[in-house]
A and B are shown apart, each in its own frame.
Chain A
Amino acid sequence: MTVFTTIQSTLGGSMKSSFGLRALGIIMAFLPTMATAEWNLNFTPSVTLLGEEIHAIHNLVMWIIVGISIVVFGAMFWSILKHRKSVGHKASNFHENTTIEIIWTVIPVVILIAMAFPATRLLLATRDSSASDMTIKATGYQWRWGYEYLDEGLKFYSTLATPRDQIDGGAEKEETYLLEVDNKVVVPVGKKVRILTTSNDVIHAWSVPGLAVKQDAIPGFIRDIAFKAETIGTYRGQCYELCGKEHGFMPIVVEVVSEEDYQTWMQAKLAESGAPSFDPDKEYAVAELVAAGEQVYNANCIACHQEGGLGMPPTFPAIKGGKIATGSMEGHLDIILNGSDKNPMMAAWGPILSDYDIAAVIAYQRNEINSSGDIIQPSEISAARAD
């Protein structure tokens, strides 16, 4: 039960139903993953007022459907039971009736008009992103999200934090499996937050069901969406537009906190991003860079280039024994900083990784995966960026 409650609090409280549990109890007994899961039947409860209205209009439409079903399926099953040859029913020969045809055209029109009014009002409200209190730009990358708090100038990247061995089945899956990131988006409660979306490569979609927002992130264009969370908590979403192989592995986590906590977080985050976590002028030793590089590699490169740099040729070339990672240092640095001209799958990592991270991952690739034996210092990378 503790697992259930944790998931409920992290997802903003999900409805649990016992529907079907008994029927499938036998299957469940054999399958350990079942114990941590839920039999959701409806929307994730929303913590925005607009989200609640969307759920309300969905309920309205569902009741209309129930009503129509009773009439249509009622007539259908009545005639299946009563007007069958096996009970001796003789066929009538009627095949038209103008009155009833007009009636069953007009009634749906009336129902649709009745639906259209609240739907229109709600659509206009959900698309209103004016008078927002703050703006965050969300940029889709293959495969992570980059965030920029436009008023404060704070920038950071948000990457899947679920360890690889949980995905591959080597470790037990945590409750927030695939829905955990290294850097969460933090916003204050009760404030209208405007999210600008765009993309660095292909189309992604930024969506958090608990906040009832979804907006495509389109390369070369900026779109926007707004939400106002009424309740403090952590809300999780995902990318909703197929964006390549790791599409299922770029979650979104929004933490709604009090105004004070938000200010504290913002100050800490600004201080952290202002002061680099490494010394730009220091000469780092091979062992230190390789150790750090392994972390960078596992967080950023492993999805395509695979464990041990084996790659998945030809789209994702091997780093082990590869021309670039065993060739000249300039070429190696260039492809990491600027991406590949030949293979569009290789992104430019210059804007994403720090000088130290790039130095570290190069050291890891050249000394651990391969044995070229050379390294490059963060200061040289800084110089290369300036060129």
Chain B
Amino acid sequence: MEAVHDHSHDHHVPTGIMRYVTTTNHKDIGSMYLWFSFAMFLVGGVMALVIRAELFQPGLQVVEPEFFNQMTTLHGLIMVFGAIMPAFVGFANWQIPMMIGAPDMAFPRMNNWSFWLLPPAGILLMGSLLAPGGAGGVGWTMYAPLTIQQGMGMDMMIFAIHILGMSSIMGSINIITTILNMRAPGMTMMKMPLFVWTWLITAYLLVASMPVLAGAVTMTLTDRHFGTHFFNAAGGGDPVLYQHIFWFFGHPEVYIIAIPAFGVISEVIPTFSRKPLFGYPSMVYATASIAILSFLVWAHHMYTVGMPVEAQLYYMFATMLIAIPTGVKVFNWVATMWKGSMSFETPMLFAQGFLFLFTIGGFTGLVLAVTPIDIQLHDTYYVVAHFHYVMVAGALFAAFAGVYYWLPKWIGKMYDERLGKIHFWLSLIFFNITFFVQHFLGLAGMPRRIPDYALQFADWNMVSSIGAFGFGLSQVFFLYILLKAIRSGEKAPEQPWDGATTLEWTHLPTPAPYHSFETPPDLRN
């Protein structure tokens, strides 16, 4: 195959920083998304460590309660909107064109704009800390009417969410258009790699749910400044209305984060099992079912607001239904591994970590689906543990698996396999030290979002804090592994993974040229 396709024949390519400001290349934009999300991941991680440092012991030692609330709020918003979502959009940018045989994304200029909206939003989010009164100390869910009491930092956060929403919607439109229109001849929908399918479904979820969030925060904004009373009972509004609107976005959001992770795992497990994905059609249908159900269960986040019991019953049954397609996915992954010929390079290790821990997160989801139990655990650390199993051991581990898996294709160099494995084991162990014990705290009744706690919660909090610092340091180690691979990694072989079957591995050289698939491959046979 030809060597790196030199782009210097294109006379109008700017160099240096302007290359990235003006780029319309899906690979450049994908890289920027990934670096941005990693930077945000470190910022959000430092905030998590401030939280865990304060909770190391009972009493107030490190921060004031107000600042503590700002940390929990920004940690949530930055991790969800700044780290995990952009990370998977980065994967989408890099991989979707290469996996469907397209030369680039459908709207390259809009793609540039989608990315460059993110840094201003990130600056607004972090900058809200410097506003008079600080950032909003309201939790990432931003429940009214607490939001009414906040200072200017709250408005900055609202605008940041508007911008992030625009970015997500543009990115999604681009992804949907690319997938539906730019597949190589012969790549029918049911032949697309599962990663592409999961992103198609996720993009629809984003287009449908982000405007709802924008509506919720805009109503908060007008309640704050323009005399409306959407969420003020004294003016005929209802604070609980906010929660309904927020969670109508918020529950699909959970799957916006999880479904692309499913896609990455569905590529990595077959490759390293050297065996085709088991039950491809049922994977597609299960993913679509999860997406549809995600719009029908939102109020299971609100069992303590005093809904009619009939509504609680409906939400309980609908929530339990999600266990079925989720179970199908887990069974399919295990069946893919069954009687395979598995090897355990770092991507596969993270995929196995994902499979094991995400399933545990699913189990605690089953516990929380039972309404009378959920009411006991609502707003306790059990919920914190549950969603970190889904978000960190789920989405983040899948992102690590994806980075290690595709890094040779992206940069043409190998990471250090030994260091990668160390990164996996450190992450796995410290993750569980941090979050497994939070189940016990929640069962014992420790509320979320408190800067100080009763003495009965002291032991597990200390264990959790120790784990959190270990987990944080392990991610700095990941940065070192990445930089080492980029600077001095061994040259990657043309085909580093012998089990890989998707187009970027079978039809493109390693590293992938700057412009790939300028003429689409013909896959009709």
Contacts and interface: CB of A to CB of B under 8 A. Distances in A.
Nearest to A126: B372
Contact of B455 (A36, A108, A127): A36
Most buried by B among A54, A127, A168: A127
Interface stretch (A37-45, A182-190, A322-330): A37-45
A95 B309 contact: no
Contacts of B143: 202-203, 241-242
Nearest to B237: A220
Contacts of A40: 440-441, 443-444, 456, 460
B145 A201 contact: yes
A237 B466 CA distance: 27
Contact of A57 (B373, B443, B457): B373
A249 interface: yes
Interface string A43-70: 1100000000110011001101100110
A64 B139 CA distance: 33
Contact of B456 (A37, A100, A127): A37
Contacts of B342: 79-80, 83-85, 89
A315 to B, nearest CB: 4
A40 to B, nearest CB: 4
A76 B334 contact: yes
Interface string B264-281: 000000000111111111
B359 interface: yes
Given A33-B455, A39-B459, A54 B337 contact: no
Interface string B184-211: 0000000000000000000000000000
B238 A108 contact: no
A230 B198 CA distance: 52
Given A37-B457, A344-B148, A95 B343 contact: no
Contacts of A44: 444-445
A119 B366 CA distance: 12
Contact of A173 (B149, B274, B455): B455
Contacts, number: 313
A67 to B, nearest CB: 11
A376 to B, nearest CB: 29
B448 A119 contact: no
Nearest to A223: B306
Contacts of A34: 458-459, 462
Q: Give the size category of A's interface with B.
A: 35 or more
B239 interface: yes
Interface stretch (B38-46, B322-330, B385-393): B322-330
Contacts of A105: 324, 327-328
B304 interface: yes
Interface stretch (A207-215, A260-268, A275-283, A359-367): A207-215
Interface in A164-201: 166-169, 173, 175-179, 201
A131 interface: no
A80 B320 contact: no
Nearest to B69: A245
A244 interface: yes
B443 A168 contact: no
Contact of A126 (B367, B375, B445, B454): B375
B339 A83 contact: yes
Given A34-B459, A85-B342, A95-B279, A69 B443 contact: no
Interface stretch (A109-117, A287-295, A377-385): A109-117
A37 B278 contact: no
A202 B149 contact: yes
B371 A119 contact: yes
A93 interface: yes
Contact of B278 (A83, A95, A168): A95
Contacts of A177: 58, 454-455
A31 B324 contact: no
Contact of A214 (B57, B320, B378): B378
B372 A242 contact: no
B146 A202 contact: yes
Interface string B364-386: 00110011110110111000000
Interface string A118-132: 011011101100000
Interface string B469-502: 0000000000000000000000000000000000
A90 interface: yes
A308 interface: no
Interface in B40-57: 57
Interface in B325-353: 327-328, 330-331, 334-344, 352
A73 B353 CA distance: 12
A76 B57 contact: no
A238 interface: yes
Interface stretch (B60-68, B169-177, B508-516): B60-68
Contacts of A73: 356, 359
Interface in B234-275: 234, 238-240, 273-275
21 contacts: A37-B456, A42-B440, A42-B444, A44-B444, A53-B372, A58-B376, A69-B359, A72-B334, A83-B339, A83-B342, A93-B276, A94-B339, A95-B280, A104-B327, A108-B323, A124-B309, A203-B145, A221-B240, A239-B447, A248-B453, A315-B134
Given A40-B440, A42-B443, A76-B352, 8 more contacts: A40-B443, A42-B444, A43-B445, A83-B339, A127-B309, A167-B60, A209-B445, A312-B64
Interface of A: 7, 11, 14, 20, 24, 27-28, 31, 33-34, 36-44, 53-54, 57-58, 61-62, 64-65, 68-69, 72-73, 75-76, 79-80, 83-86, 89-97, 100-101, 104-105, 108-109, 112, 115-116, 119-120, 122-124, 126-127, 166-169, 173, 175-179, 201-203, 205, 207, 209, 212, 214-216, 218-221, 223-224, 236-249, 312, 314-315, 344-345
Kindly list the 6 A-B residue pairs having the minimum CB-CB distance in the complex, ordered from nearest: A220-B233, A248-B450, A223-B306, A37-B458, A209-B445, A91-B341
Interface of B: 57-61, 64-66, 69, 132-134, 137-139, 143, 145-146, 148-149, 151, 232-234, 238-240, 273-282, 304-306, 309, 312-313, 316-317, 320-321, 323-324, 327-328, 330-331, 334-344, 352, 355-356, 359, 363, 366-367, 370-373, 375-376, 378-380, 440-441, 443-445, 447-460, 462-463, 466
